[in-house]
Chains A and B, each alone.
With several copies, the nearest count.
Chain A
Amino acid sequence: MARMTMIEAIRDAMDVKMTQDRRVVVFGEDVGYFGGVFRCTQGLQAKHGKERCFDAPINEGGIVGAAVGMATYGLRPCVEIQFADYVFPAYDQITQEAARIRFRSNQDFTCPLVIRMPTGGGIFGGQCHSQSPEACFTHVAGLKVVIPSNPYDAKGLLIAAIEDDDPVIFLEPKRLYNGPFDGHHERKIVPWAQHELGEVPEGHYTVPLGKAIVRRPGADVTVLVYGTMVHVAQAAAEEIGIDAEIIDIRTLLPLDLDTIERSVAKTGRCVIVHEATQTSGFGAELLSVVQEACFYHLEAPIIRVAGYDAPYPYAQEWAYFPGPDRVGRALRDVMEG
Chain B
Amino acid sequence: MTQTRRPRLHVPEPPARPGQTPSFAHVPLSPAGAVACPPVDVSPEDTKDFASRLIRVLDDEGRAVGSWADFLGASEGDVLRRGLRDMMTTRFLDQRMLLAHRQGKTTNYAASTGEEAITCGFQRMLSPGDMNFPTYRQSGLLVSAGFPLTNFMGLQFGNDLDPLEGKNLPPMHSSKAHGFFTVSGNLATQYVQAVGWAMASAIDGNDRVAAAWIGDGATAEGDFHSALLYASVYRPPVVLNITNNQWAISSFVGIAGGHVPFATRAHGYGLASLRVDGNDFLAVLAVSKWAIARARQGYGPVLIEWVTYRAAAHSTSDDPSVYRPKEEAAAWPLGDPIERLKRHLIAAGEWSEERHEQARVEIEEEVLSAQKEAESRGTMIGGGGGTAPLSAMFEGVYKEMPEHLRRQRQKAGI
Contact = CB atoms under 8 A, between A and B. Distances in A.
A297 B403 CA distance: 22
A110 B399 CA distance: 9
Interface in B227-242: 227, 229-230, 233
B402 interface: yes
Contact of A278 (B17, B165, B255, B408): B408
A257 B404 contact: yes
A51 B195 contact: no
Contact of A58 (B163, B165, B174, B256): B256
B361 interface: no
A149 B156 CA distance: 31
Interface stretch (A122-130, A191-199, A219-227, A238-246): A122-130
B213 interface: no
A66 interface: yes
Nearest to B233: A57
A257 B403 CA distance: 8
A243 to B, nearest CB: 25
B98 interface: no
Contacts of B293: none
B385 A127 contact: no
Size category of the B interface is: 35 or more
Contacts of B383: 124, 185-186
Contacts of A52: 203
Contact of B230 (A66, A186, A257): A66
B108 interface: yes
A97 B230 contact: no
Interface stretch (A13-21, A101-109, A154-162, A228-236): A101-109
Contacts of B323: 33-34
B166 interface: yes
A51 B172 contact: no
A86 interface: yes
Contacts of B202: 51
A30 B176 contact: no
Interface string B359-389: 0000000000000000000001001111110
A135 interface: no
Interface string A298-336: 000000000011110111111110000000000000000
A25 to B, nearest CB: 6
Interface stretch (B44-52, B138-146, B185-193): B185-193
Given A92-B186, A124-B107, A128-B169, A142 B176 contact: no
Contact of A29 (B162, B175, B199, B251): B251
Nearest to A68: B193
A190 interface: no
B345 interface: no
A72 interface: yes
B398 A166 contact: yes
Interface in B150-172: 158-159, 162-170, 172
A85 B196 CA distance: 23
Nearest to A309: B405
A203 interface: no
A146 to B, nearest CB: 13
Contacts of A186: 383-384
B7 to A, nearest CB: 11
B212 to A, nearest CB: 9
B385 A318 contact: yes
Nearest to B222: A61
A104 B182 contact: yes
A175 to B, nearest CB: 12
A66 B192 CA distance: 6
Given A30-B249, A30-B250, A70-B196, A309 B384 contact: no
A74 B188 CA distance: 21
A141 B322 CA distance: 39
B193 A65 contact: yes
A73 B204 contact: yes
B183 to A, nearest CB: 8
Contacts of A54: 9, 11
A39 to B, nearest CB: 10
Contacts of B203: 25, 51-52, 70, 75
Contacts of A67: 196
A267 interface: no
A44 to B, nearest CB: 13
Contacts of B380: 124, 315
A314 B196 contact: no
Interface string A45-86: 000001110111111111001111110111100000000011
A315 B388 contact: yes
A124 B107 CA distance: 7
21 contacts: A57-B256, A57-B257, A58-B187, A58-B251, A59-B221, A59-B222, A62-B229, A68-B193, A70-B203, A72-B193, A75-B203, A86-B186, A88-B186, A103-B167, A106-B392, A124-B169, A128-B184, A165-B399, A308-B394, A309-B397, A319-B393
Q: Which 3 interchain pairs have the tightest Cβ spacing?
A: A128-B185, A69-B196, A315-B166
